[in-house]
Structure 1
Amino acid sequence: MGHRDGHGFVVRDDGQPDIYLPPNEMRAVLHRDRVRVRVVRHDRRGRPEGRVTEILQRSDAPIIGRLLFEHGVWLVAPEDKRYGQDVLIPKGATGAAQSGQVVVVELTEPPALYGQPVGRVKEVLGDIDDPGMEIEIAVRKYGVPHQFSEAAMAEARALPDKVRAVDRRGRIDLTDVPLVTIDGEDARDFDDAVYCEPARVGRGKGWRLLVAIADVSHYVRNGSPLDVDAYDRATSVYFPRRVIPMLPEKLSNGLCSLNPGVDRLCMVCDMLIDAKGQVQAYQFYPAVMHSHQRFTYTEVAAILQNTRGPLAQRHAALVPHLLHLHDVYRALLAAREARGAVDLETVETQIVCDEAGRIERIEPRTRTEAHRLIEEAMLAANVCAAEFIAAHHHPALYRVHERPAPDKLEVLREYLKAVGVTATLPDMPSPRDFQAIAKATAERPDAPQIHQMLLRSMQQAMYSPHNVGHFGLAFDAYTHFTSPIRRYPDLLVHRVIKALLKDERYHLPMLPTPGEAQAKLTKRLQERGASDAMQRTRGRPTNEVLGWEAAGLHCSANERRADEASRDVEAWLKCKYMRERLGEEFTGTVTAVTSFGLFVTLDALYVEGLVHITELGGEYFRYDERRQELRGERTGARFTLGSKVTVQVSRVDLDGRRIDFRLVRDAQMAVSEGRAVVAGEPAEFDEGDDGRGPVRRARRTERSTRAAGDGASDSGKRGGKKARAAAPGRAAVPATARSGAKPRAASPTGAQSASVLGPSARGRRGGRPRR
């Protein structure tokens, strides 16, 4: 894995710590090459440094970059800075490309110790400022399949445009049931529809809740060209103003989408839920439905707030059903709280672009009762699907979320102790323990930072045939059933349920051979942090189980790939957005603290950038991992999570997706005078404190703060690291370089986690540079 600063890391097959490669060892290799290395030394912290002894396999991934003509030589500067060398293009190998255009390069000669790599232009993407260029780059940079095979398109074209009489056979007719879809304003594919009515459950009151999901499996047959392409993609990829769908548009936006006013095939989870929010009975069956209305979240929220308003009057026939949905939602929410599920609200943002693809504004997404209503209904259906499959002992893909790892728990304990949270976490914590801390600290002014650390301690959710439960949601069994248009695991779950309804067994199209596949899967489970519990559940896997493991790892990896590509595009757009604001000053909040500086998110723009440690003033700063703070040794000035600062946009690196801030003069003077800001309030220092004595706790005002989580990243690996900040006017030498640390450019909070809430879970970043 190359690094933009010229060095690299070897990611070991055995899952052991990465091996550092100095720049001279990276001359003959490129990012993504497979190599054999020999460890030649260890640094002061015991981290290995290696020497490449053999290049086992060259990466065949294309390189994307800008074609340049310099000093009579054509070359391509890679857009991904992890490729540390420019690619030489021989005369005549540039094709129709012109200087300055973005191109895709295929290597014809690999790099050598004293020679640059050589390649030819394979594809011309266009000019760097063309609308949508950032997406064209991302899909190729991350290897996202963006063109369907001709066989798949031919199969899609042969499908009917509407539901036929033959398709209705063996299905329950629900066309007279007023099912409705509730989605965002910009949604184009509708996976799910809902309906609720009061019902008697046992001797008490309850509800009958129907969750109807598009029956994609009826049209995408096992092992067909459409199925092969869908498996290769594994998920739809969402960018601002564009979607790379898992299925061709004829299916995703047409035949499979539960559009209003037309009949559609669906799979139904029909549930009876009691007054306590417990599912007392459920059944699955194929059906034909007719969506009676396409609602948006905004519309449903408005109707629930004012059932006599103009919008409610316009949909008077459907308002009672929406009220029933709201009633069952409140019961399900009570059940969620009773089982102790972790509920940490994250601040999510959306980018609003103009017609040319430029950012107009970045705004937070507002979660309404309508969002939560649909979320709880989908969770209930997903749990029923998992229980149904588990009861029949049929292999399938579960959505598993394991307990926090011991090392992350220890970091969390130290942090909670440092900030004065008295609650303790046992060695085997339950979701209820995390939720108790979240509730106990909800009124503290530093609640967002505490909840952020709670979320960072969580593991990533993934797909696996081994059901070890979902920690964050506090479910013994959980899977994904509700989005087969955009997630391949959901399509597999549908196929398994259909097979079980027919007393049959579903078989994956292709199964690996046990030998080599077993070794690779074991290695990848270790790399992805699979716990001992998951390893024990594997036992002696059969060929069938190996196939499901391979499918789970493939879907999990492609989910991460989609997240990374989406974040890359958002980072590109934000950099272009901030390039027009160079020199402007903004207030912001410290959202991550590392040994090499502070990551600050601007309050008004929701854009994150780095204040390097060399910008903090002329003294040494010590990084305290326990407190998540940088503290000046001379003045005792402290910067911690939640600190309020005023920064100036000093540099924007579009290619590196990097925004640099500097503290404005007033803030620098405050630091030099021994004043800093902690969790939004000015800190108070002992007179004559030289940074080594005790520092009195900052004064805080009592105020209610909405809990916000911000990522599943490590926020640093070292504690007590000393770093010197350059005085104004002096050369800014990264202090961490003097102590053997290697500052990374990417933000630790750039990888946010949604693993607690189900669909996605993002990667770990921060601390020692790894990628």
Structure 2
Amino acid sequence: MKLSEPAILKLMHEKTNRPLKISELAKCLSIPDVQRAEFRNYVKSMTEEGSLIRIRGGRYGLPDEMNLVSGTLQGHPDGYGFLVCDQPGPDIYIGRKNMENAMHQDRVMVRVESSREKGRLNGRVIRILERKTVSLVGIYETFERQGWVIPSERKYFHDIFIPAKDRKGAKDGQIVCLEIVSYPTKHQPPVGRVVEVLGRADDPEAELQSVLRKHLVRQIFPESVMEETRDMTDLVGEDERARRKGLAGWTIFTIDGEKAKDFDDAVSIEKMAGGYRLGVHIADVGHYVEENSPIDREAYERGTSIYYPDGVVPMLPFELSNEICSLKPGVERLTLTVLMDFDESGELLKYDIFDSIIKSRYRFTYTGVARVLEHGEGDERYQAALPALKLMRDLSQTLRKRRFDKGSVDFRIPEPEIVLDAQGKVEKIVAAEHNIAHELIEEFMLSANQVVARHLSERDIPSIHRVHERPDEAKIMAFNDFVKSFGLKLAHLHNPGPKDLQNLLKKALGRPEERVVNTVLLRAMKKAVYSEKDPGHFCLAFEHYTHFTSPIRRYPDLVTHRTVKRFFKSKCTVRERQRLLPRIADFAEQSSRAELKAMEVEREINDLRRVQFMADKAGEVYSGTITGVTAFGFFVEMTEAFVEGLVHVSSLMDDYYIYLEAEHKLKGQHKHKTYQIGNPVKVRVTNVDVKKRQIDLTLVKN
């Protein structure tokens, strides 16, 4: 018989009714003698992973039959935690006394012991399956002449003891990187060794590095990658000229942010009889980054570029991302072109996808394009391109209206932009601009991504899809209950489509509660991910969707390029499908993980910069809006500063307040005063803790 973990688990569920020794299991499951050694290895491996459990007497059983579950521990600063189960199911609360020396991120086995209020499960760690943490970042402090590191990630609730010989000259208040030497036991704290001192906690660069190191962000490219990069050239060879379409004579240009250097998309347009011909030209990164090469393996691990206010950690070396692949003006570049014909109503008539060579004429900015389109202002470059820009504006607005008419959900939540001064300190935080030029590029990229996804789907070619599933019905019903207080409701409560949600947002447009309705609905949505499956994109209301237009900064886009090019001139056979699907599934899973990590890093760096900006503003008063409500207080976004802080419930002295989760509000038990998402308030900054990334506020009476 063919042994595998799923096969062994299936047999054990079918044929055993109690824990058994390995020899008894082998006999019960009819394992042939020649496979006993292999079976024994499987059982031991499965026990280490947590899919089997070993009890006294050397007997092995199924965890779920013994009320045991395995998963990853998520710690809390107060010393308790939650088990995120390997299998689908609710998280399990683990009290401080039941943690058994487990640390945040450890893989553990937990016994479910009882139910808590509100139906939550309560458990106890009975075994640590795998210690996941090998290094940490934190602040070095001396207590009673002993060295300790307080982890920057507060979910690690153990301070790390540092022996004198392993301090590497660290001084109080410095940020350090450490390696774990030994893990906590019943009688001993975790012990570590300092491997690098990053600098003082009030040094912005040291703080930035602490975030990047904490999340194990790969900042330095291996020498094998740099060696491969040095051998590359941006000169276009004759063989490429022979097989690609030359578009050097076309009016093609890029539109990006003021500080951008990695230009991976350019656009062109032509007015046709009864419509438009739109060209979206994407840097052919796959021509330079061969599959399974050192650069490709590094790009796979990174998954995406990470952007923050004063820099970027690129997915590809700058020699590629900012030079060889970047669609800079006046130089020939290898591209993959999606050419789309639309009628006047924005309906796609036909398309073509092909290898090309372009020479971008202009490097435009969003601000410059918006200025020339809205006010006619701009230098000779913008004036020369104005006829094309006007055509692009007309087509993009037609596509945008058509998309929303079909049900795309348009969330109107302003994004903050952190502006730094010449010294790298935060000068101000403002609402990021989103103008007609942003909308233009957004619609063209959406169109190209959608066309490529449809192209691959119609040919039954395995590929990475950008998937957004419909929200859980319970969350939508809770959202509907919440907006009833504003006189709003969904037209179709059960299984609403994206158009139902968009229609509700349109009704909230311009009303005082517009921001809160958008915010609460966004929180009810599932997160978009990458997948080898193709259920469509709920929020965009697209039947098929992928990411294709940013291969310089996103690995899934690079995979999509390779997939398209692999089947330019051939069909995908059944055998090729079977070979490709597992690889595509792996690429999708890794890309989703990398994206989530990048979002966490970017969010934490932005939070750090916000707190640094507010560090000298204790005592100042701001107008703001309640953006979130919890049992311990409510968060307020200060309008002028574009920064969020916490009003703790303990500072509300006029009543005892209870938390009404479904209504997103705190309500006084006696005076019945309420604090709800969307309420305008005035607050005073009382304390700013840069180390904890925490801003404390108190209410100011109007």
TM-score range, shorter chain: 0.7 to 0.9
Aligned to 1:57: 130
| Corresponding residue of 1:264 | 333
Matched residue of 2:88: which SS? Answer: coil
Aligned to 1:186: 259
TM-score (norm 2): 0.87
SS in 2 for 1:55: strand
Given that 2:413 and 2:518 are in contact with CA atoms closer than 8 Å, whether structure 1 keeps it comes out as no
In structure 1, the residue matched to 2:319 is 250
- 2:372–2:382 Cα contact (<8 Å) kept: no
Match of 1:411 among 457, 478, 485: 478
| Alignment correspondent of 2:413 | 346
Is the 1:75–1:88 Cα contact (8 Å) retained in structure 2? yes
Q: Secondary structure at the match of 2:437?
A: helix
Q: Deviation at 1:171? A: 0.6
CA, structure 1 residues 5+89, in 2 after alignment: closer, same or farther (shift >3 Å)? same
Distance 2:357 2:280 in 1: 13
In 2: Cα distance, 1:337 partner to 1:29 partner = 49
Superposition pairs for residues 291-306 of structure 1, below 5 Å?
291-306=360-375
Matching residue's letter, 2:391: H
Deviation of 1:223 after TM superposition, in Å, equals 0.6
CA deviation after TM superposition for structure 1 residue 313, in Å: 4.2
- The alpha-carbon deviation at position 86 of structure 1 amounts to 1.4
Contact 1:572 1:657 in 2 (8 A): yes
Larger CA deviation: 636-645 vs 261-270: 636-645
* Shift in Å, 1:317: 2.5
Question: Are residue 550 (structure 1) and residue 623 (structure 2) matched?
Answer: no
Q: Distance in 2 between matches of 1:338 and 1:40?
A: 52
Q: Establish whether residue 428 from structure 1 lines up as the match of residue 464 from structure 2.
A: no
Instruction: State yes or no: 1:119 paired with 2:192.
Output: yes
Please give the secondary structure, in 2, of the residue aligned with 1:207: strand
Of residues 221-230 and 345-354 in structure 1, the stretch that sits farther from structure 2 once superposed is 345-354
Preserved contact between residue 137 and residue 210 of structure 2 (Cα < 8 Å): yes
Say which structure is richer in helix: 2
Range with greater deviation from structure 2 (264-273 or 84-93): 84-93
Q: Is there any run of 5+ residues in structure 1 with no aligned partner, and where?
A: 512-540, 668-771
The alpha-carbon deviation at position 143 of structure 1 amounts to 2.0
Conserved? CA contact 2:459–2:571, under 8 Å: no
How big is each residue's C-alpha offset from its partner over 1:365-413, in whole Å with a ceiling of 9 and x where there is no partner?
1111100001001111011100110011010001111111111111112
Whether 1:366 and 2:433 are equivalent positions in the alignment is: yes
Structure 1: which amino acid aligns with 2:536? G
Superposed CA deviations along residues 574-596 of structure 1, whole A, max 9, x for unmatched, are: 11221211122111111112222
Aligned twin of 1:438:
505
Distance (whole Å) between structure 2 residues aligned to residue 135 and residue 157 of structure 1: 29
Residue 635 of structure 2 is aligned to residue 630 of structure 1: no
Work out whether 1:582 is the aligned partner of 2:618.
yes
Cα separation, partners in 2 of 1:626 and 1:6, compared to 1, 3 Å: closer
| 1:153 match | 226
Q: Is the 8 A contact 1:151 1:225 kept in 2?
A: yes
Contact 2:201 2:691 in 1 (8 A): no
Distance 1:583 1:487 in 2: 43
Superposition pairs of residues 203-282 of structure 1, within 5 angstroms: 205-282=274-351
More displaced 10-residue stretch of structure 1: 266-275 or 120-129: 120-129
Quick check: 570-579 or 397-406, which moved more? 570-579
Residue number in structure 2 paired with 1:660: 696
**631, 638, 662: which is aligned to 1:602?**
638
* Residue 569 in structure 1 maps to residue 596 in structure 2: no
Tell me, what secondary structure is at the counterpart of 1:605? coil
Aligned AA (1:230): A
2:673 partner amino acid: A
Whole-Å Cα distance in 2 between the matches of residues 316 and 102 of structure 1? 52
CA-based RMSD of the aligned residues comes to 2.0
Give the drift of 1:542.
Answer: 5.1
- Between 224-233 and 84-93, report the one with greater CA deviation: 84-93
Paired residues of 1:191 and 1:258 also in contact (CA < 8 A): yes
Kindly state the Cα deviation for residue 544 of structure 1 after the two structures are TM-superposed. Answer: 3.8
**Deviation, structure 1 residue 543:** 6.1
SS across alignment from 1:474: coil
Question: Is contact 2:412-2:515 (8 Å) kept?
Answer: no
**C-alpha contact 1:398 1:467 (8 A) present in aligned 2:** yes
Q: How many angstroms apart in 2 are the aligned matches of 1:29 and 1:651?
A: 33
- What displacement does 1:632 show? 1.3
The Cα shift of 1:297 comes to 0.5
Letter in 2 for 1:87: I
SS in 1 for 2:663: coil
Q: Give the conservation status (yes or no) of the 8 Å contact 1:131–1:356.
A: no
Aligned to 1:389: 456
Contact 2:490–2:501 at 8 Å: present in 1 too? no
Instruction: Give the letter aligned to residue 23 of structure 1.
Output: R
How many residue pairs match? The answer is: 629
AA aligned to 2:137 is I
Q: Does 1:129 align with 2:202?
A: yes
Mapped partners of 2:355, 2:381: distance in 1:
32
- SS at 1:445's partner residue? coil
Would you say the 8 A contact 1:418–1:626 is kept in 2? Answer: no
- Describe the SS at the equivalent of 1:45: helix
Compute the TM-score of the two structures, normalised by the length of structure 1: 0.79
Change (3 A) 1:29 1:137: same
**1:475-554 paired onto structure 2 within 5 Å:** 475-503=542-570, 544-554=580-590
Which deviations, in whole Å up to 9, do the C-alpha atoms of 1:220-241 show, x marking residues without a partner? 0011010000000110001111
Report 1 or 2 for greater relative contact order, CA contacts < 8 Å, sequence distance ≥ 6.
1
- CA deviation after TM superposition for structure 1 residue 506, in Å: 11
Structure 2 unaligned regions, length at least 5: 1-73
Distance of 1:293 and 1:467 partners within structure 2: 37
Which of 439, 442, 445 lines up with 1:378 in the alignment?
445
Deviation at 1:216, TM superposition (A): 0.2
Q: What SS does structure 1 have at the residue aligned with 2:117?
A: coil
Asked if 1 retains the 8 angstrom alpha-carbon contact of 2:100 and 2:126, the reply is: no
Contact 1:39 1:50 (8 Å CA) reproduced = yes
Measured after TM superposition, the shift of residue 440 of structure 1 is 1.9
Q: Which amino acid aligns with 1:659?
A: I
Distance 2:685 2:621 in 1: 7
CA distance, structure 2, for counterparts of residue 152 and residue 507 of structure 1: 35
Distance 1:248 1:504 in 2: 34
Select the residue among 459, 473, 480 that pairs with 2:540: 473
d(CA) in 2 for partners of 1:558, 1:504: 31
1:402: which partner in 2? 469
Q: What is the CA deviation profile of residues 559-578 of structure 1, one whole-angstrom value per residue up to 9, with x for unaligned ones?
A: 01101111111111111221
Query: Secondary structure of 2:166's match?
Result: coil
| Shift in CA distance, 487/654, structure 1 to aligned 2, threshold 3 Å | same
Matched AA of 2:507: A
